[in-house]
Amino acid sequence: MSQALHPQLVLDISPAAEPTFDNFVPGANQAALAAVAELAPGRALYLWGDAGAGRSHLLRAAVGAHAHALYIPATEAGATAYDPHSREPLPPLLAVDDVHRLDTEGQQWLFALYNRWRAAAASREAGCLLLSGNQAPLQLAVREDLRTRLGWDLVYRLQVLSDDDKRAALLAHGASRQMPIAPALIDWLLNRHARDLRQLMTVLDALDRYSLATRRPVTLPLLRTMLARAAEADTIP
C-alpha cells in the first residue's frame, strides 16, 4: 500500500481511550488508586494534586465502574441534574471534579450535597462522594464551612508521574502491541510532545498503524514524518 492511498487512515490520531482503573498508571499513587476503587457507600474521598496527576482520570474511572453514578465538573455544579435538597436517593457515587473552580452557587450546592451525604451515610441510601481539587482542603480558596467538609473523610494527594514512570509505561504499551520502540524515540516524545500519558499512548498507537500501512519500521524519523503530516492535516488533538 502506498502512502498516498491512505492519509486519513494512518494520520488520524484518535481520542485517548476512556479512563478506567486498568489504564491508569499509578506510579507512586497505588494507595490512592486502591482507595478510589474500593470506596464504600457512606464514605467520601478527596483527591488533590497538580495538573496532570490523574485526578480527573480516577474520577471518571470510578463513575464508569458504577451504574447510575454521576460525574460533575465544577463548572456545571450549580446546574447539575442532582438536587441535594430533593427527596430522591443519592446516586451510588457522585464525583465532583476541580472543586477549586466552584463559583459561589457551586459552593452552596456542594455544601448542601455534603450535608445530604452525611445524613444518609448510615442508612440504606448511603452513597459515595468522590471529589478533586488542586490543593489540600485547608488551602482551598472556598468558603470555610466547605473547606472543613472536604477534609471530613479520606484525603489523598496524587503525585505527577515521573519521566521514568512514563517511559516505562510507554515501553510496556509498545510491547503490548508487539511494537519495538527505541528509548530515544520515547525520550523525544517526552521532551517535544504532549506530557499527558494517555495522549502519548494514542500517538504510539497511531505510529503503529502508520508503520504497518507504510511498511516501514518504527523509528524516530518515521514518527517525525507522521506528526508533520498529521499537523498538516490538522488531526493532532
State residue 195's pLDDT score.
Answer: 66
Query: What DSSP letter does each residue of the chain carry, written as one string?
Result: --GGG-HHHHH--PPPPPP-STT---TT-HHHHHHHHTPPTT-EEEEE-STTSSHHHHHHHHHHTSTT-EEEEGGGGGG-S--TTSSSPPPSEEEEE-GGG--HHHHHHHHHHHHHHHHHTTSTT--EEEEEESS-GGGSSS-HHHHHHHTSSEEEEPPPPPHHHHHHHHHHHHHHTT----HHHHHHHHHHS---HHHHHHHHHHHHHHHHHHT----HHHHHHHHHHHHHHT---
**Contact yes or no for 97/74 (Cβ under 8 A):** yes
Per-residue pLDDT at 81: 67
Same domain, 170 and 206: yes
Residue 25 falls within a domain, yes or no?
no
**Domain containing residue 51:** 30-157
Residues 148 and 209 placed together within one structural domain of the fold? no
Section 205-212 average pLDDT: 90
- Bridge partners (DSSP) of residue 77 are none
Q: How confident is the model at residue 11 (pLDDT cuts 50, 70, 90)?
A: very low
Q: Is residue 191 in some structural domain? A: yes
Report the chain's C-alpha Rg in angstroms. 21
Residues 200, 141 share a domain: no
pLDDT in tens, 59-96: 999 999 998 999 999 888 766 668 888 888 889 999 99
- CATH of residue 147's domain is 3.40.50.300
**Final residue of a domain: which of 124, 157, 190?**
157
In terms of domains, do 178 and 151 share one?
A: no
**Angstrom distance (rounded) from CA 146 to CA 117:** 13
pLDDT value of residue 59: 97
Residue 41 counted as domain residue: yes
Same domain, 37 and 124: yes
* Domain match, 229 and 207 both: yes
Under the banding of pLDDT at 50, 70 and 90, the label for residue 6 is: very low
Do residues 147 and 46 both lie within one domain? yes
Task: For residues 173 and 102, state if they share a domain.
Answer: no
99 and 146 fall within a common domain: yes
The answer on 166 and 152 residing in a single domain is: no
Condensed to tens digits (0 to 9), the pLDDT of residues 105-150 reads 999 999 999 999 999 888 888 999 999 999 999 999 999 999 999 9
Would you state the pLDDT for residue 234? 65
For residues 50 and 153, membership in a common domain is answered with: yes
> Within this chain, do residues 201 and 153 fall inside the same structural domain, yes or no?
no
Other CB atoms within a 10 A radius of the CB of residue 53 amount to: 22
Domain-ending residue, one of 125, 141, 157: 157
User: What residues have CB less than 8 Å from 186, skipping those under 6 apart?
Assistant: 167, 170, 171
In a domain, 218, yes or no: yes
Condensed to tens digits (0 to 9), the pLDDT of residues 12-69 reads 545 556 889 988 889 999 999 999 999 999 999 999 999 888 999 999 999 999 989 9
Q: Report the C-alpha gap between 204 and 179 in whole angstroms.
A: 9
pLDDT (0 to 100) of residue 17: 67
Q: Which of 157, 177, 193 is the last residue of a domain?
A: 157
Query: Is residue 88 in some structural domain?
Result: yes
- Domain total of the chain: 2
